[in-house]
């Protein structure tokens, strides 16, 4: 069996003396689009952040291509961060910087030798891909929630990642903008890259996911693969439960 891109082994996570994730184990193969689904408050976003190495497990381990993320040295961690991009549900844009500064920072970190002109070309390209046409010199507070989501998605594309973590990435978008981002993710998948995403939109899950991982009360309660995503009569209700 090929080594998974992301593997979680008996991962638990606690915060403020509360157990949020409980002994979660999963393997995500190269080129897979995996949907994390389940009721709100069930732990999906925490599992996503653990898989992305943004939270340190209280127990167990998270591995990227066989390497424990928590044990990576600085060089290994930077390489992982360049390959794995995250779009947060709340966009997570820095309020005290303008959009250009927000988008330029990942390029400065991961490509320090890149000329300023090239950085600006990459930024304009990413903004154009997601459909953001307005001024990049403004701060996030000047944007609608939907526009903030576009900038967050553009930021995720800047370093040409091979792994995307998406938390409700079409939320707050109008239908046209949502379809644009869904199209980008479809192309990403067609290129053989890996996607781990959260959504309550069952039609989106059906059209994109190779597997659905149901999470409730911090545990994986079911994993549905392939054609079963279409055949399981109860799945839509469980996915869209809020």
CATH topology of domain 6-240: Rossmann fold (3.40.50)
In the predicted model, is pLDDT for residue 5 greater than 70? Answer: yes
Going from N- to C-terminal start, the domains of the chain cover 6-240
Q: 67-68 and 59-64: which strand pairing?
A: antiparallel
**How confident is the model at residue 240, as a pLDDT?**
60
> pTM of the predicted model, to two decimals?
0.93
| Structure confidence by residue, pLDDT tens digits, 166-221 | 999 898 889 999 999 999 999 999 999 999 999 888 889 888 999 999 999 999 99
| Structure confidence by residue, pLDDT tens digits, 106-145 | 999 999 999 999 999 999 999 999 999 999 999 999 999 9
| Structure confidence by residue, pLDDT tens digits, 24-68 | 999 999 999 999 998 888 999 999 999 999 999 999 999 999 999
């Amino acid at each position: 069996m090929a080594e998974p891109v992301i593997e979680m082994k008996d991962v638990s996570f606690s915060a403020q003396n509360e157990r949020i994730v409980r002994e979660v184990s999963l393997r995500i193969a190269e080129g897979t689009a995996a949907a994390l689904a389940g009721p709100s408050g069930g732990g999906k976003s925490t599992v996503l952040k653990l898989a992305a190495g943004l939270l340190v497990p209280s127990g167990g381990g998270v591995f990227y291509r066989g390497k424990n993320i928590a044990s990576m040295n600085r060089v290994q961690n930077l390489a992982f961060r360049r390959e794995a991009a995250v779009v947060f549900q709340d966009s997570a844009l820095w309020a005290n910087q303008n959009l250009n500064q927000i988008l330029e920072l990942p390029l400065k970190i991961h490509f320090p030798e890149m000329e300023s002109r090239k950085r600006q070309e990459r930024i304009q390209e990413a903004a154009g891909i997601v459909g953001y046409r307005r001024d990049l010199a403004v701060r996030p507070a000047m944007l609608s929630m939907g526009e903030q989501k576009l900038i967050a998605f553009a930021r995720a594309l800047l370093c040409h990642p091979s792994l995307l973590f998406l938390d409700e990435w079409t939320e707050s978008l109008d239908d046209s903008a949502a379809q644009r981002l869904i199209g980008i993710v479809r192309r990403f998948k067609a290129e053989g890259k890996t996607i781990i995403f959260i959504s309550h939109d069952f039609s989106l899950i059906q059209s994109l996911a190779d597997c659905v991982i149901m999470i409730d009360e911090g545990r994986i309660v079911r994993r549905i693969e392939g054609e079963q995503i279409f055949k399981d009569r109860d799945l839509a209700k469980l996915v869209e439960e809020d």
